[in-house]
Structure 1
């Protein structure tokens, strides 16, 4: 995977689809440590893509490499961020924030009045979500089950638009 892009400004966002699932799974597996059990399987991603209100957004560099992605859904007046991942070579360049801002903008444009997400407690992304105005809404104990048997709480965060 190329790491030429110096910042989010050098990337572009495109709507993704089933043809992008291999690169999405590659990014997800690199981004989410298997000991925490956060990554989805390819079949889980493929199963949700055709559902109403679901969008996959891909961040690509100038060489068309997938730097990151977001997967979200909007139903009625609520939006949910299902997944957001940035490939390790592209981290700390604002790509996650760019994907999050895109999600927020799309949710607002779709008429969502409330948005929510779940994230593993201790995941560094919690700081990004809090900085974007998300507030603690709840905890799901032992929600994530890692490959090696660990169990980890999920934090539910929400934001009113």
Structure 2
């Protein structure tokens, strides 16, 4: 049985949205993998002006977010997360599509990202035209010192 698609409202976030973003971050990222960021790390990215934080709401509840950074003609997708209560409702796909549209509007010609090897999000990226272009050994450090490899994905935006 297919899951119904939610009505997703995606907005550009500001520092005022950080508590909602952090509620998604805490719920979405398993601490064993060391992928989640702190609120101060997110705030620091927003201060520089090169980063864009978008937050997705479903029925006014924070459902997901995406953090990107554009430099010259490349955009890096730094974080993308969906709250577990809103998975399989199109939130991650909508956030990724919005991030690609924003990157194009900012003049980016390519987008790249790193994702933990074996993360189910790899399917999202390949379905959206991203290709695996490399690996970073021991990129993530988990909460007990264990290390995890990352896969690098890239996609042309033009």
User: Shorter chain as normaliser: what TM range?
Assistant: over 0.9
Q: CA deviation at 1:53?
A: 2.4
Q: CA deviation at 1:106?
A: 1.2
Quote the Cα distance in structure 2 between the aligned partners of 1:11 and 1:103.
14
Which secondary structure does the structure 1 equivalent of 2:101 belong to? helix
Quote the Cα distance in structure 1 between the aligned partners of 2:43 and 2:116.
23
Structure-2 residue corresponding to 1:58: 55
Are 1:137 and 2:139 counterparts? no
Structure-1 residue corresponding to 2:107: 111
Structure-2 residue corresponding to 1:100: 96
Gaps of 5+ in 2: none
Q: CA deviation at 1:37?
A: 0.5
Structure-2 residue corresponding to 1:34: 31
Structure-2 residue corresponding to 1:160: 156
Structure 1 stretches of 4+ with a deviation exceeding 2 A read: none
Which secondary structure does the structure 2 equivalent of 1:50 belong to? helix
1:46-85 aligned at under 5 Å gives the runs 46-62=43-59, 64-85=60-81
Quote the Cα distance in structure 2 between the aligned partners of 1:78 and 1:157.
13
Which secondary structure does the structure 2 equivalent of 1:123 belong to? coil
Encode CA deviations 1:1-26: one digit per residue, 9 max, x unaligned. Answer: xxxxx524x12111101111111111
Quote the Cα distance in structure 1 between the aligned partners of 2:109 and 2:78.
17
Are 1:150 and 2:146 counterparts? yes
Which secondary structure does the structure 1 equivalent of 2:19 belong to? helix
Quote the Cα distance in structure 1 between the aligned partners of 2:97 and 2:152.
19
Gaps of 5+ in 1: 1-5
What count of residue pairs does the alignment treat as equivalent? 154
